[in-house]
Structure 1
Amino acid sequence: MGNPSTGVTTMKSLIQILVITCALLAGPLWAADSISISELKQAMQSGNTPIIIDVRDEDEYLAGHIPGAILVPAKNVEHHLDMLEKYQKEEIVLYCQSGRRASAAATTLENAGFKHVKLLDGNFPGWQASK
């Protein structure tokens, strides 16, 4: 029989590797920082409006959107990076209906070098409820 302490050490090492691997693969669900609706409204009222991007589909955007929001559907964000490049150093706020598409778009922008990407807490339903 082998040394029992060797098996324990090997098992601990395997568990550590597994935990680290899971953490790296999972990553944060919401990569970007967030901004509250009240913070966004305050910025808009003070003249410091960030770039607001609606990542919903066109029909959702046309049915209602945050004033001044630019429509860039989440499924097309990577195809519009050239157009968005001029905003790379500015604060960008993304929103959708539930947060899923905005989070995916935030990851795409962050991977392309955008440093000031935020997700709107409550997304569009929260904005509508705050009127």
Structure 2
Amino acid sequence: MTSLTATIDSQDLSERLGSLAPPRILDVRTAGEFESAHIAGAYNVPLDLLREHRDEIITHLDEDVVLVCRSGQRATQAEETLRAAGLNNVHILEGGINAWEAKGLAVNRGTTRWDLERQVRLVAGSVVLTSVLGSVAAPRLKWVAALIGGGLTFASLTNTCAMGMMLSKLPYNRGATCDAQTVVSQLVEQATSPRS
């Protein structure tokens, strides 16, 4: 994977995982999403953790790296973060874990949890509905709905999501092994073990 193309499709990744020098897969979804379904051998490095500990993490990434998320949005942000730090051997799984599963490729499954985007829709929708219904009794509540609408518009235009970042920090979305020290030790352990 030495091309300048920043994406790799599911079939190509599947074939490369069986090679003598497979790429390192970093899944940048939340620990809860990762636990629901992930590609075997992938490392869970949530996007916020990757951003906070980027320099420490990249020192242990000397092989090709493939970034995975639900559909490609967070992986794109992770790629920008890693390339800004000087890591050039970075690729994005085209279509994310959704495309991987749609091709019928195997995933390790655990406890099913809602993905982060679905959680954002639930919270945003609930706040808007509640504030619109509440505005019948307290007319100023309509501005809460307007604020959420403005936030969603801003999130779309900037490809960021403050609500998603806040939700990702909830215990539901965090795993016990989702800290920088654990991630780095897993990367080091894999780098020092012989490849099969």
Relative to the length of structure 1, the TM-score reads 0.71
Alignment match, 1:62:
35
Query: What is the match of residue 60 of structure 2?
Result: 86
> In 2, Cα distance between the equivalents of 1:113 and 1:123?
23
Match of 1:67, as an amino acid?
A
* TM-score, normalising length: structure 2: 0.48
Aligned residue in 1 for 2:76: 103
Cα distance per residue 1:44-93 (max 9 Å; x no partner): 12232101000001100000101111001112212232033210x32100
Matched, 1:46 2:16: no
Gaps of at least 5 residues in structure 2 are: 105-196
Q: 3-state DSSP class of the match of 2:59?
A: helix
C-alpha separation in 2, matches of 1:66 and 1:80: 23
Counterpart Cα distance in 1 of 2:49 and 2:60: 17
In 2, are the aligned partners of 1:72 and 1:80 still within 8 Å (CA)? no
After superposition, the C-alpha distances for 1:9-36 in whole angstroms (9 at most, x for unaligned) are xxxxxxxxxxxxxxxxxxxxxxx71011
Query: What is the identity, as a one-letter code, of the residue corresponding to 1:128?
Result: E
- Whole-angstrom CA distance in 2 between matches of 1:52 and 1:115: 15
Name the larger-Rg structure.
Answer: 1
Identical residues among aligned pairs (%): 34
1-structure distance, mates of 2:22, 2:53:
21
Q: Distance in 2 between matches of 1:128 and 1:92?
A: 20
Note the aligned Cα RMSD (angstroms): 1.6
Kindly report structure 1 stretches of 4+ aligned residues shifted beyond 3 Å: none
Shift of 1:98: 1.9
2:82 partner letter: L
Matched, 1:113 2:86: yes
| Equivalenced residues, count | 100
1:72 to 26, 29, 45: 45
In the TM superposition, residue 130 of structure 1 has moved relative to its aligned partner by: 1.6
What is residue 134 of structure 2 aligned with on the other side?
none
SS at match of 1:93: strand
